[in-house]
Structure 1
Amino acid sequence: MKVSTLGIDLAKNVFQLHGVDHEGHTVLRKKLTRAKFVQFVIQLEPCLIGMEACSSSHHFARLFSRHGHEVKLIPPQYVKPYVKTNKTDAADAEAICEAVTRPNMRFVQIKTEEQQAVLALHTERGILIRERIACSNSLRATLAEFGITIAAGQSHLTRDLPAILEDGENGLSPFVRTSIYRQANHIRELEEQVKQVEEALASWYRTQEACQRMAKIPGVGMLTATYVVAAVGNARQFSTAKQFASWLGLTPKEHSSGGKQQLGGISKRGDGYFRYLLVH
Structure 2
Amino acid sequence: MEQYVGLDVSLKETEICVVDGSGAVLARSRVPTEPERLAVVLGELAPAASVVVLETGGQSSWLHQELTLRAVPAVIVDARRAKAALSCLMNKTDANDAEGLAQLARTGWYREVAAKRPETRIIRSLLLARQQLAKGRRDIENQIRALLRGFGLAVGAVAKQRFETRVRGLLEEIPLLQDAIEPLLAVRRTLLEQSDGLEERIRDVAATSPVCTRLMSVPGVGPITALAFVTAIDDPARFKRSGSVGAYLGLTPRTHQSGETAWSGR
Q: Normalization by structure 1: what TM-score? A: 0.80
Q: Of the candidates 81, 91, 98, which is equivalent to residue 96 of structure 2?
A: 91
For 1:269, the equivalent position in structure 2 comes to none
Change in 2 beyond 3 A, CA 1:60/1:28: farther
One-letter amino acid of the counterpart of residue 88, structure 1: T
For 2:123, the equivalent position in structure 1 comes to 118
Q: Shift of residue 37 of structure 1?
A: 6.8
Which stretches in structure 2 are left out of the alignment for 5+ residues? none
The 3-state SS of whatever aligns with 1:54 is coil
The 3-state SS of whatever aligns with 1:211 is helix
Which stretches in structure 1 are left out of the alignment for 5+ residues? 266-280
Structure scoring higher RCO (CA < 8 A, sep ≥ 6) equals 2
For 1:228, the equivalent position in structure 2 comes to 229
For 2:26, the equivalent position in structure 1 comes to 28
What count of residue pairs does the alignment treat as equivalent?
258
For 1:138, the equivalent position in structure 2 comes to 143
For 2:163, the equivalent position in structure 1 comes to 157
- Cα offsets for 1:57-85 (capped at 9, x unmatched): 11110001101223211111111333343
> Partners in 2 of 1:213 and 1:68 — Cα distance?
38
Q: Is the 8 A contact 1:150 1:156 kept in 2?
A: no
For 1:58, the equivalent position in structure 2 comes to 61
Q: Shift of residue 179 of structure 1?
A: 2.8
Change in 2 beyond 3 A, CA 1:62/1:35: closer
> Partners in 2 of 1:146 and 1:156 — Cα distance?
21
Q: Is the 8 A contact 1:3 1:19 kept in 2?
A: no
Q: Shift of residue 55 of structure 1?
A: 0.5
Q: Shift of residue 3 of structure 1?
A: 6.0
Change in 2 beyond 3 A, CA 1:243/1:106: farther
Q: Shift of residue 240 of structure 1?
A: 2.9
The answer to whether structure 1 residue 262 and structure 2 residue 263 are counterparts is yes
- Cα offsets for 1:152-204 (capped at 9, x unmatched): 13344234234445x4xx2x13x412333322222111111111111222222
Change in 2 beyond 3 A, CA 1:49/1:217: farther
Q: Is the 8 A contact 2:19 2:27 kept in 1?
A: no
Change in 2 beyond 3 A, CA 1:147/1:89: closer
One-letter amino acid of the counterpart of residue 20, structure 1: V
Q: Is the 8 A contact 1:9 1:89 kept in 2?
A: yes
Q: Shift of residue 122 of structure 1?
A: 1.8
One-letter amino acid of the counterpart of residue 74, structure 2: V
> Partners in 1 of 2:24 and 2:179 — Cα distance?
67
> Partners in 2 of 1:113 and 1:36 — Cα distance?
18
Q: Is the 8 A contact 2:55 2:76 kept in 1?
A: yes
